[in-house]
Structure 1
Amino acid sequence: MPRITDQELIARAEIQDLLTRYGQAQDQDEWSLYDDIFTPDAAIHFPGMPMESRSAADFGRFLQEFNKTRISGQHLIGNTLYRFENDGRSAHVVSEVIYITLHPTDTPGRLRRIRGNALYSDQAVLTADGWRIARRDIAQKNVEIDEADYDAVLLSAIESASVTRWFGSSGDEA
């Protein structure tokens, strides 16, 4: 394996920040974070899934609407591999994803849980504004949906944590 250069380490950190922003935008409803992740013409594809390809902007709007149906969510993105191309100005980036979302049901104290695993295959490019994702393929690997009862105190804590602006667009913490 060739040695990693200082430039490549910096690029990896900047690309990892994009991946983190993507998860945090969704999980914390901080959609201003989503604005700097993708190129203006970025496309998102869903191979093997009954979902048509769409622009990153359109997918962001879809996610914002979906988030209105949930109480909480979490995306963990890791096991990321990088392959730099084009003299370090582009990169193929593959990450494993674990996610869970909690949705209300008609029964008080009972939530629907959606848990899954996916793979993000990204084509990242270095732009004048920094690294951006130009293409993302989302490959679903597993999905489990069930319902579970939650104690009222725990449910209240989850709901409270979900509306707290932990990071905030201004950079202020909760």
Structure 2
Amino acid sequence: MNAALQQLIDRSELEQLVLRYAYAIDERAFERLDTVFTADAYIDYRAMGGIDGRYPQIRDWLPQALGVFPGYMHFNGNFLFEIDGDTASGKIACFNPMVLPKADCTAGEGETMFLGLWYLDRYVRTSAGWRISERREKRSYDFNMPAAFKQAMQKL
């Protein structure tokens, strides 16, 4: 196959991989992350108040950590991929509004915090397609994030 065509195909597949991650998280379908990450992937969410560890630990932690939010969305864009054969790296912008529950509000209501970050990824092509082998968050900004929330997330 033509090298330029293969680059386009790989970029498209990597973009779809990143979007599958976002939808699995936002739809709380954490089992679908098994088709996004390698079994031994390293994930570091500490930049935005989370934890770091290998994929199985992170997958177990996600429902607990995200379960406190009535709603959230991950908007990904500005995809930048560097592909080298069967490995690649990527930088992806993420805008992540998250609803903070309030005790005095009805179900689903609350204040919204806004998170801006980049995902710094490493990818590997497997027999089942591209997978994320490493994901690190790099903080850009947060708006309306309570300090107590950051501390609570790190204790989960």
Q: Quickly name the TM-score band, shorter chain normalised.
A: 0.7 to 0.9
5 Å matches for 1:1-80?
5-46=4-45, 52-80=51-79
Aligned residue pair count: 143
Where in structure 1 are there 5+ consecutive unaligned residues? 148-174
Query: Which 4+ stretches in 1 moved above 3 angstroms?
Result: 46-52
Task: Please provide the CA RMSD for this pair.
Answer: 2.3
5 Å matches for 1:129-144?
129-144=128-143
1:64-115 residue CA offsets vs partner (Å, 9 max, x unmatched)? 1122211111001110111111xx2111111111001113211125503221
1:30–1:16: structure 2 CA closer, same or farther, 3 Å change rule? same
Check the 8 A contact 1:112/1:146 in 2, yes or no: no
C-alpha displacement at 1:12, in angstroms?
A: 1.1
5 Å matches for 1:110-125?
111-125=110-124
Check the 8 A contact 2:48/2:137 in 1, yes or no: no
Q: What one-letter code is carried by the residue in structure 1 that aligns with 2:121?
A: D
Structure-2 separation of matches of 1:90 and 1:55: 19
1:133–1:29: structure 2 CA closer, same or farther, 3 Å change rule? same
* Structure with more helix by fraction: 2
SS at match of 2:72: strand
The more displaced of 52-61 and 5-14 is: 52-61
Structure-2 separation of matches of 1:7 and 1:55: 30
Structure label with greater radius of gyration = 1
1:90–1:31: structure 2 CA closer, same or farther, 3 Å change rule? same
- TM-score w.r.t. the length of structure 2 is 0.81
1:124–1:65: structure 2 CA closer, same or farther, 3 Å change rule? same
Q: What one-letter code is carried by the residue in structure 1 that aligns with 2:93?
A: E
C-alpha displacement at 1:122, in angstroms?
A: 0.5
C-alpha displacement at 1:46, in angstroms?
A: 4.6
Q: What one-letter code is carried by the residue in structure 1 that aligns with 2:94?
A: V
1:70–1:51: structure 2 CA closer, same or farther, 3 Å change rule? closer
- TM-score w.r.t. the length of structure 1 is 0.74
Structure-2 separation of matches of 1:56 and 1:25: 14
Where in structure 2 are there 5+ consecutive unaligned residues? 147-156
Q: What one-letter code is carried by the residue in structure 1 that aligns with 2:6?
A: Q
SS at match of 1:18: helix
